[in-house]
């Protein structure tokens, strides 16, 4: 069946599905699927100071990053709000990262401003390299990932297709939502701090040195009271029209949060990740655009 493309949003230009999203999700869950993420932005960083430099700029411990090991990291502002989400790997000579396409230029500008006298070189490689979600069971950051030169993409995808099923963004997003992994431009808004969204001890390393925004992360962690929390919503599937990204969530007549991502999961049905106020009881039934939703607590810490 021919591919259906994503027409808008952060994944615009990617493949949404191939006509059988439930079958694609099942193949992905079994580790027997791959996906083309060529719409993602790709940046390369070379130079002997690259890992210590990135270690200082992000929330992740990168000084001794092992070759071929993918990790994720955040860039925060001085108040501790999440600005960017990066997925990184080092090959021994170059650190590669992929991110939301619309954020690529902003990240390049920021990194180039922060070079000072260090030996690092930052380049946009989006036109030369593609990211693939490689075959295998999903890991903690949504991989395994493969970085492939675009002039080798046809050969690589043909090799994958010999023994694996190509899937679209629908399947990847359904897996992500069910796993409770927050994503930039979806669950992250202008007020988001890492403590609210399950990033601690994952993309935020809790035992590393100083980085921008660390004071807020540490303070809220020690107090244990972030203002909001991420929950998995199980939506009433009897409704024809489902809420969309950004839709407001209510408890009775009071606005208590918003939906970040919504997916139709092959086992769980319609589900969503929502950011809600911490004082909302977990057993409370919420409502969004006329659709009722039961909450499920996520193991975020």
> Given a cut of 60, is residue 301 above it in pLDDT?
no
> Given a cut of 80, is residue 128 above it in pLDDT?
yes
What pLDDT sits at residue 300?
63
> Given a cut of 80, is residue 176 above it in pLDDT?
yes
| 146-155 mean pLDDT | 98
This prediction's pTM:
0.96
Q: In what order do the strands lie in the sheet with 165-166?
A: 145-149, 129-133, 33-36, 165-166
Residue 195 burial (C-beta neighbours within 10 Å; 0-12, 13-18, 19+): buried
pLDDT, one tens digit per residue, over 188-210 is 999 999 999 999 999 999 998 78
Dihedral angle, C-alpha 50, 55, 59, 61, nearest 10 °: 120
Work out the percent of the chain whose per-residue pLDDT is above 90. Answer: 94
Confidence class of residue 86 from pLDDT cuts 50, 70 and 90?
very high
Q: Which two tokens stand for residue 262?
A: 């919504």
Closest CA to 189 of 126, 257, 131: 257
DSSP 100: -
Closest CA to 203 of 85, 53, 72, 99: 72
């Amino acid at each position: 069946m021919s591919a259906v493309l994503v027409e808008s949003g952060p994944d615009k230009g990617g493949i949404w599905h191939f006509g059988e999203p439930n079958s694609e999700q099942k193949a992905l869950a079994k580790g027997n699927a791959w996906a083309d993420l060529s719409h993602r932005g790709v940046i390369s960083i070379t130079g002997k100071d690259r890992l210590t430099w990135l270690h200082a700029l992000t929330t992740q411990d990168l000084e001794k990053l092992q070759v071929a090991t993918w990790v994720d990291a955040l860039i925060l502002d001085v108040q501790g709000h999440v600005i960017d989400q990066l997925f990184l790997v080092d090959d021994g000579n170059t650190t590669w990262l992929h991110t939301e396409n619309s954020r690529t230029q902003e990240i390049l500008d920021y990194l180039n401003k922060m070079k000072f006298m260090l030996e690092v070189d930052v380049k946009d490689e989006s036109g030369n390299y593609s990211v693939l979600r490689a075959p295998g069971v999903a890991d903690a950051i949504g991989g395994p990932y493969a970085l492939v030169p675009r002039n080798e993409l046809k050969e690589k995808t043909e090799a994958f297709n010999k023994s694996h099923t190509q899937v679209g963004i629908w399947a990847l997003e359904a897996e992500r939502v069910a796993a409770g992994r927050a994503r930039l431009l979806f669950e992250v808004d202008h007020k988001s701090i890492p403590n609210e969204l399950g990033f601690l001890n994952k993309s935020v390393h809790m035992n590393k040195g100083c980085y921008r925004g660390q004071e807020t992360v540490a303070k809220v962690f020690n107090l244990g009271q972030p203002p909001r929390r991420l929950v998995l919503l199980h939506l009433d599937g009897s409704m024809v029209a489902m809420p969309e990204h950004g839709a407001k969530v209510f408890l009775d007549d009071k606005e208590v949060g918003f939906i970040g991502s919504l997916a139709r999961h092959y086992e769980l049905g319609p589900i969503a990740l929502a950011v809600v106020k911490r004082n909302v009881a977990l057993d409370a039934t919420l409502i969004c655009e006329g659709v009722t939703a039961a909450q499920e607590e996520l193991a975020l810490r």
